[in-house]
């Protein structure tokens, strides 16, 4: 922290001079959000990670052309084998929904390329492997006929056929059955007469099958644009989710699996009629079923066989593997397949290109059997002697073991799809006999299988910006550093100046924060489910910095969120699963042993009147070194202001779950709040504090765009570069990207002399807000909006970044269109505020002498004046200010980026935006002759007999100051049955507080509440608490 020549006080008078424009010339601004990654973070095991992918499709004619469906990041395409990636569905997966409004998504779960025409591609929306946190909108299936450049919805009319159901289904698998001639067998004369056509070949259209959470759907490419649900009338379950699907093109047979319901077969490729297959299969207590067809033709095959493999999740989390050699009539269970966990989340199955016994299983790990799993059992290369005679060899891990069947890298855990490059799509060689691709929680991997069956792994994730960030943190001292807490991938640190990243993996990351002093990073290792807090210190200096340790500082697995105060080093707030917030002030310096003790944390929440659990916390903008003040939102719509040092005040019953709170960095005690209330109205609010210390709430989203279905608002940020005469700009995150709200500032009138003009007071911000979509961020859930703030400079850099759940991190880039400097003045606002014991900045009227060239004036703050660029303004703060019975003495000026100035008179050259803050400390208080002496009343309520270990009784003390000046101090003094005494600070004026004690033998507790005014004149009240003995 920079040294200053003065110190701060809790009670002082502050005069703030704020430059309202961001440059010498007011500029018309527009903006663009730019993706800054992570574009894949390299790990020490040679893998590269970014985010979850659900499916991959390989061009049947070119194995270098791939499409990968990111869980929440849209569809991506490469044409060069993964060297370069491009998102191809941004802003295009949009359709009208039942509300009549269009809705977009980046949530994709399935992709398929037409086997005969690779220019035609289908993508299914919805997260087919949702990781229990969030899933974007499911909007059915979209089609591209130009290789993925443009997309249109199939089943566009949701009122036709079963298009409406399909338009909200989560697509788990897509299967394309190419059209062609089907031979109709001869029939009797009567039957022929009943048909329009006779026997012989007929032309069938292409058919697309979609296995979805709502069942199996079929879509013929015959121009009807009609999805048909295949249900009990077709021999399928009436209700239930279809999981996986394969075809046997040699016999015109389709297979589909249903979650908990089994496997079904259709003996024609139209899928008109189905039959359940049961012989040898489980009859119950199973879930996800993966399918793989092993009877394809090609080199190494003889006569094509109707070979199908099926992998079942059985029991709680077991795995059973079955195969059939006769198309499903009879199934055989294979012995001792690999056992893993989460088999409803990761359960993938595939057969090699040439050998029907070349079987691959993807669960948490990745397994290979060259005998079709006939022997069963797992090989183990980590023991001595090695176990090598079983069927299943693990090939995903680890580089440190001497496993001869794998090389290159360690594969990320949790595998969702395995696809082999079709025969003829690449040129085989001894080092690359087969190619397959694996979609998993880290991204995408390529497996090259050599002539000896060894898999050489290669990461293809670099370039995919698909991280599912729960929160982000910006390093105060280095604005190029952003850390994202990423679901499935720990924590990814990105350097925006070099567009490089590094992984800090520790399980399923979600919560991150960086200490105000830039000394350490706080991470949560178990997302929003409650987890330990770890501290990483120091921050890595580069992607190659491997000196990373993160000891646990709170390990009871109960923390669901936490926040670092951007203004105060060591201040960390954590939210517990019970909805309560606690704070420590030594998070950056204390030992892990100290921080892991509950005594190092104090309760933060309002104890009385708070309804609901805390959902978000924001920190009041710091003017100097004043008392911490927090804004807390709850899931019942309340917004509170206070801290352990400042009494809590309820600001708003905002009518919905509070999702985000943003303080205005330049207009203190002005905050913006976003809530979710089940509607699209009154979700964005401004709360301001008036001169009489009352709080006003106004809805400012009356003109929010109604041309897109926005279901969820997530966060809000105030642009610190737009203020004063330029007005106010805020950005709001949603499930459909980012929106921009703006209100104009007061008009500026320039004096004809060109010197200065004293103009209007600062804007209140309650006026005609305009709204529009802020460009650059696709239709993805925005989880976090952060403004870069530098604690050491008491300032900000103007950088705003957004974390998204599926597309990583975006940064706001502003584009300026400068106007002539001579035509545009700089507008400065002068404001006087008093910061009281509650940390509030209350407006006051103070006379400030201002000099600008030869023009001098004494102006009563608040006021504004406009000056040309380069003008020098002199301000002289009164050395003493008297207000009624109070006297304040000038202490010094604070100017961001400079040392403090103790002289009362300063001169500023107005070339750029700046702030100058003159503050005073209270040095005297004269008695108010009219004020009555303090009077206080005391009562003891609700004495409870608990009588459990270490807690015998609990009682409530209530007090009220009924006369006199506002008390400066209120405390309670207790005398316990064992003669021990204790003094406890209480809230001023009035309140109630419960006290637990442990005196099982009973006795009396003497209570005295003492209040003192500013002149140390006390008032007191006494009471006695009688404790009845606990029964033995």
Per-residue pLDDT tens over the stretch 812-860: 998 643 333 333 456 566 666 665 555 555 556 678 788 877 777 777 7
209: Cα within 13 Å, side-chain hemisphere: 25
How many degrees, rounded to 5, is the angle at CA 168 between CA 166 and CA 172? Answer: 75
| pTM score of the predicted model | 0.80
The pair of three-digit structure tokens given for residue 426, joined into one six-digit string: 């690449």
Per-residue pLDDT tens over the stretch 433-481: 999 999 999 999 999 999 999 999 999 999 999 999 999 999 988 888 9
Mean pLDDT of 905-924: 70
d(CA 893, CA 882): 19
**pLDDT tier at 225, thresholds 50, 70, 90:** very high
In 3-state terms, what secondary structure has residue 878?
coil
Listed range (149-163, 344-358, 360-374, 943-957) with the worst mean pLDDT: 943-957
d(CA 984, CA 289): 63
> Which residues neighbour 172 within 8 Å (Cβ) at sequence distance 6 or greater?
109, 110, 124, 128, 211, 212, 213, 241, 242, 243, 244
pLDDT score recorded for residue 94: 97
Give me the percent of the chain exceeding a pLDDT of 70.
80
Task: Spell out the CATH class of 39-186+201-459.
Answer: mainly beta
Most trustworthy range by pLDDT among 184-198, 287-301, 418-432: 418-432
DSSP secondary structure code for residue 529 in this structure: G
Give buried/exposed letters for 922-957 (b at 16+ CB in 10 A, else e).
beeeeeeeeeeebebebebeeeeeeeeeeebbebeb
935-1027: CATH number: 2.60.40.10
Q: Does 99 have pLDDT greater than 50?
A: yes
Q: Does 11 have pLDDT greater than 60?
A: no
pLDDT score recorded for residue 82: 97
Q: How many helices (H) and strands (E) does the chain have?
A: 3, 81
pLDDT score recorded for residue 1015: 65
DSSP secondary structure code for residue 901 in this structure: B
Q: Does 27 have pLDDT greater than 70?
A: no
Q: What residue segments make up the domains of the chain, in order of their start? A: 39-186+201-459, 470-748+755-818, 823-925, 935-1027
pLDDT score recorded for residue 991: 73
pLDDT score recorded for residue 867: 67
Helices (H), 271-323: none
Q: Does 110 have pLDDT greater than 90?
A: yes
470-748+755-818: CATH number: 2.130.10.10
Q: Does 188 have pLDDT greater than 70?
A: no
Give buried/exposed letters for 815-850 (b at 16+ CB in 10 A, else e).
eeeeeeeeebbbbbbbbbbbbbbbbbbbbbebebeb
pLDDT score recorded for residue 833: 62
**pLDDT tier at 707, thresholds 50, 70, 90:** very high
pLDDT score recorded for residue 195: 33
In 3-state terms, what secondary structure has residue 756?
strand
Per-residue pLDDT tens over the stretch 735-786: 999 999 999 876 554 444 443 433 334 444 456 899 999 999 999 999 999 9
Q: Does 14 have pLDDT greater than 80?
A: no
The pair of three-digit structure tokens given for residue 845, joined into one six-digit string: 């009227």
**pLDDT tier at 970, thresholds 50, 70, 90:** confident
Q: Are strands 552-564 and 286-293 parallel, antiparallel or unpaired?
A: unpaired
More confident residue, 508 or 684: 684
Tell which residue, 356, 262, 362, 258, has the closest CA to residue 308: 356
- Helix, strand, coil percent content, the chain, rounded in steps of 5: 5, 50, 50
Tell which residue, 960, 957, 967, has the closest CA to residue 1016: 967
> Which residues neighbour 523 within 8 Å (Cβ) at sequence distance 6 or greater?
485, 490, 491, 504, 506, 509, 511, 512, 533, 534, 535, 536, 550
Tell which residue, 127, 123, 125, has the closest CA to residue 112: 123
SS (H, E, C) 480-501: CEEEEEECCCCEEEEECCCCEE
Q: Does 875 have pLDDT greater than 50?
A: yes
Q: Supply φ then ψ for residue 165, to 5 degrees.
A: -65, -40
Q: Do domains 39-186+201-459 and 470-748+755-818 have the same CATH topology?
A: yes
């Amino acid at each position: 922290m920079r040294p200053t020549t003065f110190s701060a006080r809790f009670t002082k008078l502050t005069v703030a001079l704020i430059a309202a424009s961001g440059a010498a010339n007011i500029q018309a601004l527009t903006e663009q959000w730019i993706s800054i990654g992570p574009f894949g973070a390299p790990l020490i095991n040679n893998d590269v990670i970014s985010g979850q992918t659900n499916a991959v499709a390989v061009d049947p004619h070119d194995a270098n052309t791939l499409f990968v469906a990111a869980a929440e990041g849209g569809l991506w395409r490469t044409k060069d084998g993964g060297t370069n990636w491009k998102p191809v569905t941004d802003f295009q997966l949009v359709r009208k929904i039942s509300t009549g409004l269009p809705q977009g998504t980046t949530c994709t779960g399935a992709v398929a390329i037409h086997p005969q025409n690779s220019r035609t591609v289908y993508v299914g929306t919805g997260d087919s492997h949702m990781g229990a946190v969030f899933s974007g909108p499911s909007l059915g299936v979209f089609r591209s006929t130009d290789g993925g450049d443009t997309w249109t919805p199939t089943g566009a009319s949701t009122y036709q056929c079963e298009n409406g159901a399909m338009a909200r289904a989560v697509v788990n698998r897509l299967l394309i059955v190419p059209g062609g001639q089907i031979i109709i067998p001869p029939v009797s004369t009567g039957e022929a007469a009943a048909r329009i056509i006779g026997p012989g070949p007929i032309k069938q259209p292409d058919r697309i099958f979609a296995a979805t959470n709502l069942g199996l759907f079929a879509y013929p490419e015959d121009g009807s644009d009609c999805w048909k649900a295949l249900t009990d009338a077709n021999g399928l379950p009436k209700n239930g989710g279809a999981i996986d699907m394969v075809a046997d093109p040699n016999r015109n047979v389709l297979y589909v699996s249903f979650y908990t319901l089994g496997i079904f077969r259709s003996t024609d490729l139209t899928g008109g009629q189905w039959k359940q297959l049961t012989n040898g299969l489980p009859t119950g207590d199973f879930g996800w079923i993966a399918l793989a067809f092993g009877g394809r033709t090609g080199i190494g095959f003889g006569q094509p066989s109707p070979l199908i493999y099926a992998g079942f999740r059985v029991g709680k989390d077991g795995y059973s593997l079955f195969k059939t050699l006769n198309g499903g009539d009879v199934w055989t269970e294979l012995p001792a397949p690999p056992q893993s966990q989460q088999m409803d989340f990761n359960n993938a199955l595939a057969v090699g290109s040439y050998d029907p016994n070349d079987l691959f299983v993807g669960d948490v790990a990745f397994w290979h059997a060259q005998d079709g799993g006939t022997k069963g059992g797992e090989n183990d290369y980590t023991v001595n002697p090695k176990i090598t005679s079983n069927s299943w060899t693990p090939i995903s891990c680890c580089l440190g073991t001497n496993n001869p069947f794998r090389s290159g890298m360690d594969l990320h855990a949790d595998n969702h799809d395995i696809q082999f490059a079709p025969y003829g799509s690449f040129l085989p060689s001894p080092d690359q006999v087969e190619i397959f691709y694996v979609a998993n929680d880290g991204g995408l991997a390529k497996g090259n299988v050599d002539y000896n069956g060894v898999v050489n792994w290669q990461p293809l994730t670099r370039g995919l910006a698909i991280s599912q960030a729960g929160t982000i943190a910006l390093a105060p001292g280095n604005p190029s550093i952003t850390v994202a807490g990423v679901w499935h991938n720990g924590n990814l640190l990105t350097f925006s100046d070099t567009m490089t990243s590094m992984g800090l993996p520790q399980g399923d990351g979600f919560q991150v924060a960086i200490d105000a002093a830039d000394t350490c990073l706080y991470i949560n290792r178990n997302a929003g489910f409650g987890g330990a807090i770890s501290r990483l210190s120091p921050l890595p200096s580069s992607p190659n910095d491997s000196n990373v340790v993160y000891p646990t500082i709170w390990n009871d697995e109960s923390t669901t969120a936490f926040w670092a105060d951007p203004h105060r080093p060591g201040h960390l707030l954590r939210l517990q699963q019970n909805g309560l917030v606690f704070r420590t002030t030594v998070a950056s310096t204390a030992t892990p042993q100290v921080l892991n003790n509950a005594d190092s944390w104090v309760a933060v929440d309002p104890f009385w009147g708070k309804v609901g659990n805390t959902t978000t916390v924001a920190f009041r903008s710091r003017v100097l070194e004043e008392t911490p003040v927090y804004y807390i939102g709850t899931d019942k719509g309340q917004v509170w202001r206070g801290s352990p040092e400042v009494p809590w005040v309820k600001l708003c019953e905002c009518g919905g779950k509070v999702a985000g709170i943003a303080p205005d960095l330049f207009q203190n005690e002005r905050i913006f709040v976003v809530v979710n209330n089940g509607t699209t109205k009154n979700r964005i609010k401004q709360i301001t504090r008036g001169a009489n210390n009352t709080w006003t709430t106004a809805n400012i989203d009356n003109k929010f765009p109604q041309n897109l279905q926005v279901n969820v608002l997530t966060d809000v940020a105030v642009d610190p570069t737009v203020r004063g005469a330029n007005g106010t700009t805020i950005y709001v995150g949603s499930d459909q990207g980012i929106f921009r709200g703006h209100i104009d500032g007061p008009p500026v009138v320039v004096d004809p002399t060109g010197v200065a003009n004293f103009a209007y007071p600062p804007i209140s911000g309650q006026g005609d807000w305009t709204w529009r979509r802020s460009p650059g961020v696709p239709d993805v859930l925005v989880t976090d909006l952060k403004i870069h703030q530098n604690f050491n400079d008491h300032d900000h850099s103007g950088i705003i970044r957004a974390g998204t759940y599926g597309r990583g991190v975006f940064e706001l880039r502003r584009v300026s269109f400068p106007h002539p400097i001579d035509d545009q003045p700089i507008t400065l606002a002068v404001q006087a505020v008093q910061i009281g014991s509650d940390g509030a900045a209350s407006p006051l009227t103070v006379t400030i002498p201002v000099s600008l060239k030869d023009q001098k004036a004494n102006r009563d703050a608040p006021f504004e004046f406009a000056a040309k660029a380069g003008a020098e303004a002199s301000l002289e703060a009164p050395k003493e200010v008297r207000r009624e019975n109070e006297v304040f003495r000038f202490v010094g000026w604070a100017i961001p980026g400079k040392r403090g100035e103790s002289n009362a008179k300063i001169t500023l050259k107005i070339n750029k935006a700046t702030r100058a803050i003159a503050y005073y400390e209270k040095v005297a208080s004269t008695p108010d002759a009219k004020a009555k002496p303090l009077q206080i009343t005391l009562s003891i309520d609700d004495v409870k007999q608990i009588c459990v270990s270490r807690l015998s009784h609990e009682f409530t003390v209530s007090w009220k100051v009924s006369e006199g000046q506002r008390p400066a101090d209120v405390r309670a003094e207790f005398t316990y049955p064992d003669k021990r005494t204790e003094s406890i600070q209480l809230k001023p004026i009035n309140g109630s507080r419960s006290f637990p004690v442990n005196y099982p033998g009973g006795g009396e507790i003497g209570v005295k509440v003492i209040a003192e005014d500013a002149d140390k004149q006390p008032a007191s009240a006494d009471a006695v608490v009688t404790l009845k003995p606990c029964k033995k």
